[in-house]
Homo-oligomer: A and B are copies of this chain.
């Protein structure tokens, strides 16, 4: 079996068995670093960083060099053709003809998907806005595995900015795939986005239980617990044991606390920044004295700002520098496998498959566009060639998920092509939660972002729900 020519854009792109294969090769390479110089000799990696980075770019580049390969690198968007208004698709196609593999970081969500779609070579997402950062997650899991042997059944607290932290988003799905339980401990206002919770429960199984206020502060120490995810493979699965007491389970302590900095560069308005002042939960020596954290690994994707105190650095539970250091062998293993320089053996029947439902596709030239302002499909240079495209992930309520940024949204108005094709009189639109809406077949569905959007395209409000025009 081979991973050659595959892309790694989101955690969906790697099965459990494939991740284990990456860890196994990373382990092998760590132990024989100096012997890898011929592994990718003659191969060229393009490292396209359109957003500031030190750690990720340098560790990818160091990994490629330690494999004997070469690197061509863009480290500043302002010094590239992007400054001249070039689209991602053009950049991808051209760079894909120079290099054997592309690593891309970009501020737009879904950018890595576009690069993967247009380049002829394997593409690795090194972070796309607030969406995902799968190689960081591989480093995180590899560290958990090295320190705790088995990730299954571990209780991992995710701490801080769970809204914009792309490393968090990737990690959630990976932990679910490995059968860990997740404790969501967000800074107020920076909770995990709904679309992630929805995907997690619908596609990965398990259940999310929201935690009520009083439980949050048990044992005095601040513990901003907001929700708990319990995987289906976990023995104390909530779905099976509905009375499980989350607080009791917490008393046993967490296995790891995964801290993140507030991703201020992605905050949509100043308010979000203001809200943080003095409220962001700080992890320091004092917090870690609590019994719940007795055996907790302290993890952080770095860089840190103020949320993780320097007094933790000397603590044997601190893992963040180890996570960073493991970035090199993990990325060496991944690059090697995507370049097809090494095959892997996975018993397909042993692999843990994730439910990837065959959601219907929604794509039209007009009507609703992705409402996420950070989505690549909404950007001027990209809208020239990218059509909005969604998966219909739920009918009640009607929910569409952008194929680029994976943002989910519930359109307010719908229509059907079989009501009006050729017959203007029946170009009617309805509320998405109406009786009529539920009867539209996916392939006939038209969604509108607003009344204006619908009426601009010549639709009128459905008579079945009355003749009064909807107020805008």
Residues of B with C-beta under 8 A to A59:
98
The yes or no answer to A53 lying at the interface (CB within 8 A) is yes
- Kindly identify which residue among B62, B76, B83, B95 contacts A98, using a CB–CB cutoff of 8 Å: B62
- Kindly identify which residue among B83, B85, B99, B306 contacts A62, using a CB–CB cutoff of 8 Å: B99
Q: Does B385 lie within 8 Å of A310, measured CB to CB?
A: yes
Q: Does A86 lie within 8 Å of B42, measured CB to CB?
A: no
**Residue of A72, A93, A321, A324 most packed against chain B (CB within 10 A):** A72
Q: Does A303 lie within 8 Å of B54, measured CB to CB?
A: no
Residues of B with C-beta under 8 A to A83:
52
Min CB gap A169→B, angstroms: 18
Q: What are 22 A-to-B residue pairs whose CB atoms are below 8 Å?
A: A37-B42, A42-B66, A46-B58, A49-B79, A52-B78, A52-B81, A53-B80, A55-B81, A55-B94, A58-B72, A58-B74, A75-B76, A76-B76, A76-B78, A85-B305, A86-B304, A86-B305, A90-B304, A94-B302, A94-B324, A98-B328, A306-B384
Bound together, the chains give a CA A324 to CA B89 distance in angstroms of 14
- Interface 0/1 of A222-264, CB less than 8 Å to B: 0000000000000000000000000000000000000001000
- Interface 0/1 of A25-50, CB less than 8 Å to B: 00000000010010001101010010
Min CB gap A201→B, angstroms: 32
Given contacts A59-B98, A93-B321, contact A303 B34 (CB under 8 A): no
Residues of B with C-beta under 8 A to A304:
86, 90
Q: Does A303 lie within 8 Å of B85, measured CB to CB?
A: yes
Min CB gap A332→B, angstroms: 11
The yes or no answer to A199 lying at the interface (CB within 8 A) is no
Q: Does A62 lie within 8 Å of B54, measured CB to CB?
A: no
The yes or no answer to A217 lying at the interface (CB within 8 A) is no
Bound together, the chains give a CA A91 to CA B265 distance in angstroms of 20
- Kindly identify which residue among B46, B86, B303 contacts A81, using a CB–CB cutoff of 8 Å: B303
Q: Does A52 lie within 8 Å of B79, measured CB to CB?
A: yes
Residues of B with C-beta under 8 A to A66:
42, 44
Bound together, the chains give a CA A327 to CA B42 distance in angstroms of 18
Q: Does B84 lie within 8 Å of A305, measured CB to CB?
A: yes
Min CB gap A370→B, angstroms: 19
Bound together, the chains give a CA A324 to CA B261 distance in angstroms of 41
Residues of B with C-beta under 8 A to A46:
58, 62
Residues of B with C-beta under 8 A to A75:
74-76, 79
The yes or no answer to A65 lying at the interface (CB within 8 A) is yes
Q: Does B58 lie within 8 Å of A95, measured CB to CB?
A: yes
Q: Does A65 lie within 8 Å of B72, measured CB to CB?
A: yes
Given contacts A44-B65, A89-B310, 16 further A-B contacts (CB under 8 A): A53-B80, A54-B95, A55-B81, A58-B74, A58-B99, A75-B76, A84-B303, A85-B305, A86-B305, A90-B303, A94-B302, A94-B321, A94-B324, A97-B324, A97-B328, A98-B327
